[in-house]
Structure 1
């Protein structure tokens, strides 16, 4: 009975908090210093990150008091303190997860033009937000008084409050998990549809679709957590529910990490400009980005043949002189940039005899 999983709880929370912190700070740097357009999706993701800090901090604190240990090895004070930290973890997870998904949805909507795709995003987002809010409200009202949530494991405080049937909480978590997985899978498929018909080189298409679809990786943790939801019925709560705590932290941490990574393309372009140039233009006016930014590529796939510098800049120049009844006509036509878009400049000089 001396098995202790508290170290695993602390390690998971620390590792994924570090990953989320790095990518969130890089996201803020890109939006504020490089792009100079800090949008709603960025602000909501920062807010989700703050709740994730609260979640991870409470998870680490709970592991120091008893999360991951058997109840028989804990005193009443350790039990109630660990359970109070668990309650704070629930709050941080529910709010942070919802905000993260809202941020990712706004980001994808910003670059989505197709009306059907936008409707699909709105629908799945409405499902996950509704399920998330229901789960959050249920967490707050599941016990009366609220403090009985963490006092119920104490041998002294038992019977001084009441909680709703645990099956209701489990069903709510099942619904939130299912809608979260549906949302993540939708976000995984849409980037492929967005770039499938665009005029891009194949490697650039793969890179852009991968960046946009990274936010779906959180679904792995969501699906992995579902089989452990029945452990909420177990009396040895702090030990048996460790897997739920771990996968919930991984889900939110991966969501913030991947959602922020998808916005770091301008930073990557500084290191490899030839790979990312002109594949994702964003229209901005006065520091505000437009609601949708179509993905496209200026060079066509059939125009991948190298072009000499002189031809790219000036094209071919020719000069003609024609004789007429009343004099001479001289034409100098120099097409500039023969590849798309084409700009032609024509100069005409008329010479007459006196």
Structure 2
């Protein structure tokens, strides 16, 4: 059978470009919000930094694997193709492709683990979910144990380890416990899927609160969309796990698995980053609001002399210990809870919390 036209490497590279176009900007905005707007860097942010580093390594390994043959048939891969007088070109190398695919599986497990740790710590410090903190911590503990156990199983699945990317594919079944690894893949994906469903349920519950403003509810829509995409992608991987046993043509057989393999942690990372955008969106709204209009509106509400005298008598009668008895602007009826226009938008956000 002629398989020269069956090459899906470009699909993997397009998905890599797509996920990078989402993860890099969202992570950059998260860092801006935490460092320059909130001026507060918590443990969940540090966990997200580690996640982003691991995710960058994961994407880099998948890129090298795709450029060297992941997505193409193993029989079509040659280290060098000769074009006569035109010289030579790099067509792909099964050894390099499988080496970096092997490394990407290890980084996938670690990136997914630290992503879940970041989300769990973010939820644990939210007052709204304080009563559910034991559930979050138990979920995190189980998924962490399962992830580390699976990581070392992946690491030592072949004896010696180098037989995983051997050019002689006939050595693979005798040296690697592929049947056991298929069962472990199912177990790991099952634990991951259950943990993600539990953690994402909090975002859905927050969106369904009755007293929530429509603007905040609308902000949670993309969070839930990307969380649902990550969960659906993780569930779809179950279908393609058996293809990892096709060792003779693994670079081609693993392509569908690798597609959802790329989407799952990337969509989860985007969803986790989007949850921190509240102060940044408030800053943008303050920039776009016209201060001159607000001042004109306040000037139009300037009280009469009799009203100002009545306000002065009222303030004088208030006990000084009452927090709302602090002096007001006598030339307007702007109260202490009204928005002031002094200072930059970033300074005005110093008292805003999410």
Give 3-state SS (helix, strand or coil) of 1:91's partner.
helix
Decide which of 311, 319, 324 is 1:343's aligned counterpart: 324
**Counterpart pick for 1:108 among 110, 123, 126:** 123
- Give the aligned partner of residue 245 of structure 2: 233
- SS of residue paired to 1:332: helix
Q: Which residue of 2 aligns with 1:249?
A: 262
- Shift of the 69–200 alpha-carbon distance from structure 1 to 2, 3 Å rule, reads closer
> Secondary structure of the equivalent of 1:193?
helix
The separation in 2 between residues aligned to 1:86 and 1:117, in whole angstroms, is 38
Greater helix content: 2
Does structure 2 retain, via aligned residues, the 8 Å contact 1:144–1:163? yes
Which residue in the other structure is 1:169 paired with?
181
Aligned to 1:131: 146
Residue 222 of structure 1 is matched in structure 2 by: 234
When Rg is computed on C-alpha atoms for both structures, the one with the higher figure is 1
Offset at 1:187? 2.5
- The answer to whether the Cα contact below 8 Å between 1:184 and 1:215 also exists between their aligned partners in 2 is no
Correspondence for 2:55: 52
The equivalent position to 1:154 in structure 2, one of 152, 168, 176, is 168
Match of 2:203 among 164, 171, 191: 191
The secondary structure found in structure 1 opposite 2:119 is: helix
Q: Distance in 1 between matches of 2:243 and 2:172?
A: 22
Shift of 1:123: 2.0
DSSP 3-state at the match of 2:106: helix
Between the aligned partners of 2:32 and 2:111, the Cα distance in structure 1 is 21
In the alignment, what sits opposite 2:12?
9
Displacement of 1:242 = 0.8
| Deviation by residue 1:144-170 (Cα, 9 ceiling, x = unmatched) | 11111111x425x83797112x22212
Structure 2: state its 5+ residue gaps: 80-91, 289-297, 328-354
Q: Does 1:34 align with 2:37?
A: yes
Listed one character per residue, the Cα deviations across residues 177-219 of structure 1 (whole Å, up to 9, x for unaligned) are 1222222222332134346556443x13513543664662311
Change (3 A) 1:162 1:133: same
User: Structure 1 residue 267 and structure 2 residue 248: aligned?
Assistant: no
Assess, with a 3 A threshold, how the Cα gap between structure 1 residues 343 and 49 changes in structure 2: closer, same or farther. same
CA distance in 2, matches of 1:335, 1:168: 81
- CA deviations 1:301-347 (Å, max 9, x no partner) are xxxxxx99959xxxx87859xxxxxxxxxx932499xxxx983579x
Taking structure 1 as reference, are residues 114 and 167 closer, same or farther at Cα in structure 2, changes over 3 Å only? Answer: same
Shifted more, 179-188 versus 96-105: the winner is 179-188
Q: Would you say the 8 A contact 1:45–1:100 is kept in 2?
A: yes
- Answer whether contact 2:220 2:275 (CA < 8 A) is retained: no
Could you say if the C-alpha distance between residues 250 and 211 of structure 1 is closer, same or farther in structure 2, counting changes exceeding 3 Å? closer
8 A Cα contact 1:214 1:262, kept in partner: no
Q: Confirm whether residue 333 of structure 1 aligns to residue 348 of structure 2.
A: no
Shift of the 211–122 alpha-carbon distance from structure 1 to 2, 3 Å rule, reads farther
Q: Structure 1 regions of 5+ residues with no counterpart?
A: 276-306, 321-330, 347-354
Aligned partner of 2:88 in structure 1 is none
Give the Cα–Cα distance (whole angstroms) in 2 for the partners of residues 18 and 211 of structure 1: 16
What whole-Å deviation, never above 9, does each CA across 1:214-262 have from its counterpart, x for those lacking one?
6623112101211111111223211011111111111111111121111
